[in-house]
Amino acid sequence: MKTDLLQMTDSAGCSSKIPPKLLDEVLKHLPRPSDPDILVGIDTHDDAGVYRVNSDLALVLTTDFFPPVCSDPYEFGQIAAANSISDVYAMGGTPVVALNIMMFPAAKLPPEAYEEILKGGAVMAAQAGVSIIGGHTIDDSTPKYGLAVVGYIHPGKIITNKGAVPGDLLILTKPVGTGVIIAGQKLGIASGTDIGRAVETMKTLNRTGSEVMKRYNVKGATDITGFGLAGHALKMAKAGSVSITLNMRQVPLIGETFMLVEEGCIPGAAFGNLEFVEGDTCFGDSLEYNLKMIAMDAQTSGGLLMSVREEIAGEVIAGLQETGLIRAAVVGSVTEKREKYLYLES
Ligand code: CO
Ligand code: CO
Ligand code: CO
């Protein structure tokens, strides 16, 4: 029988993050390192840490790993690797080397599945120009896989989540809905076409999106993963002391995401994200419940959310679409800090 990884996990991919409120609570009590060469630490909840080596070189460090988001081991490996590397791209860095992080139920799955996951990861890493130079494995009941990634960046050219400036428009490079569709797949109500689209989206590296950001000197960005579009936009607003308005009607969706939510297919992680954002968010009167929950949907290997000057937004979108990111769209805007950090409209 063919291995179906998705049946081995309750919460898939970035949906299995610790609820953001709990994470915040725990991180608050940790000691803060004071090394002056830490250029980006944990304070602003940015995508990766950045450490200065000298005046021309800093390292971007990040790790992500999670349980399966799809049935096929090879594709799971590809997606997990693309997702892990994404945090380096979100900051404008160039990923160079990585370590495998792997949990695998040796008694429950054939060794071929193990090998396929690692192969998928290695192939995706190679596509990103990343060499995998080691790793660590633990026998565990649910498989989990990801990478710890190291990238290079110039200390003066770091793109952070605090770089959004009032007047900017927000561009999202990939459609949203992976959490909903994976949940729909587990329930047997997502179509094969949509599952295929979600997998393709998750396997797409944020490499070209990052290249376009660098070409246009974008200063503020993040990638959309477990905290959903709303959660990551809120982190961006807080880090930059600005307010962000998301127009949920402009957000590109994968296939029948809206219909699946209509049918009640809303993964638990979305409610955790709602709890995290609601105190800082104003929900527009005309915002439909379905769009509100789509904003909360935990994404796996989601797109980049970049803050760009209004004058160049059209050019940036054209540049992104030229590289194949055909669903890239303006989804919101940045203003001076208003009463709330985040405004969800439709
Ligand atoms: Co990230
Ligand atoms: Co991450
Ligand atoms: Co070890």
Q: Does 158 map to a domain?
A: no
Q: Does 163 map to a domain?
A: no
Domain shared by 197 and 126, yes or no: no
Rg (CA), the chain: 19
Q: Does 159 map to a domain?
A: no
Q: Which residues surround ligand 2, an ion (CB under 5 A)?
A: 64, 87
Q: 282 catalytic, yes or no?
A: no
User: How far, rounded to the nearest angstrom, does the alpha carbon of residue 84 sit from its chain's CA centroid?
Assistant: 9
Domain boundary among 153, 186, 206: 153
Domain shared by 317 and 174, yes or no: yes
Mean pLDDT for the stretch of residues 51-56: 98
What's the gap in Å between 223 CA and the centre of ligand 2? Answer: 8
Q: Does 11 map to a domain?
A: yes
Q: What's the predicted TM-score (pTM) here?
A: 0.95
Domain shared by 87 and 230, yes or no: no
Q: Which ligand is nearest to the CA of 102?
A: 3
Q: Tens digit of pLDDT for each residue in 205-264?
A: 999 999 999 999 999 999 999 999 999 999 999 999 999 999 999 999 999 999 999 999
What's the gap in Å between 270 CA and the centre of ligand 3? Answer: 34
Domain boundary among 128, 153, 178: 153
Give the domain CATH number at 307.
Answer: 3.90.650.10
What's the gap in Å between 85 CA and the centre of ligand 2? Answer: 9
What's the gap in Å between 223 CA and the centre of ligand 1? Answer: 5
Q: What are phi and psi of 212, to 5 degrees?
A: -65, -40
Domain shared by 37 and 130, yes or no: yes
Band (115; pLDDT cuts 50, 70, 90): very high
Q: Does 48 map to a domain?
A: yes
Domain shared by 181 and 210, yes or no: yes
Q: Which residues surround ligand 1, an ion (CB under 5 A)?
A: 47, 87, 223
Domain around 174: 168-345
Band (1; pLDDT cuts 50, 70, 90): low
Helices (H) and strands (E) in the chain, counts: 11, 13
What's the gap in Å between 194 CA and the centre of ligand 2? Answer: 25
What's the gap in Å between 222 CA and the centre of ligand 1? Answer: 6
Q: Are 176 and 299 in contact (CB under 8 A)?
A: yes
What's the gap in Å between 120 CA and the centre of ligand 3? Answer: 21
Q: Does 160 map to a domain?
A: no
Neighbours of 259 (CB within 10 A): 17
Q: Which of 14, 70, 265, 282 is catalytic?
A: 14
Domain shared by 207 and 141, yes or no: no
Which residues on adjacent β-strands are paired with residue 58?
Answer: 52, 153
Each as own residue / partner, the long-range contacts of residues 185-188 (CB below 8 Å, 24 or more positions apart, any chain) are 185/6, 186/6, 186/7, 186/12, 187/265
Q: Does 291 map to a domain?
A: yes
Domain shared by 48 and 147, yes or no: yes
Neighbours of 236 (CB within 10 A): 29
What's the gap in Å between 172 CA and the centre of ligand 1? Answer: 14
Q: Tens digit of pLDDT for each residue in 66-75?
A: 999 999 999 9
What's the gap in Å between 285 CA and the centre of ligand 2? Answer: 32
Domain shared by 176 and 135, yes or no: no
Q: What are phi and psi of 158, to 5 degrees?
A: -85, 125
Q: Which ligand is nearest to the CA of 149?
A: 2
Q: Tens digit of pLDDT for each residue in 28-37?
A: 888 889 999 9
Helix (H, G, I), strand (E, B) or coil at 246: strand
Give the domain CATH number at 55.
Answer: 3.30.1330.10
User: Could you tell me whether strands 281-283 and 144-153 are parallel, antiparallel, or unpaired per DSSP bridges?
Assistant: unpaired
Neighbours of 7 (CB within 10 A): 9
Instruction: Report the greatest alpha carbon distance in the chain.
Output: 57
Q: Are 254 and 191 in contact (CB under 8 A)?
A: no
Domain shared by 22 and 138, yes or no: yes
Q: Tens digit of pLDDT for each residue in 294-313?
A: 999 999 999 999 999 999 99
Domain shared by 184 and 131, yes or no: no
Q: Does 162 map to a domain?
A: no
Domain shared by 66 and 145, yes or no: yes
Domain shared by 56 and 172, yes or no: no
Q: Give the chain's domain count.
A: 2
Domain boundary among 153, 183, 199: 153
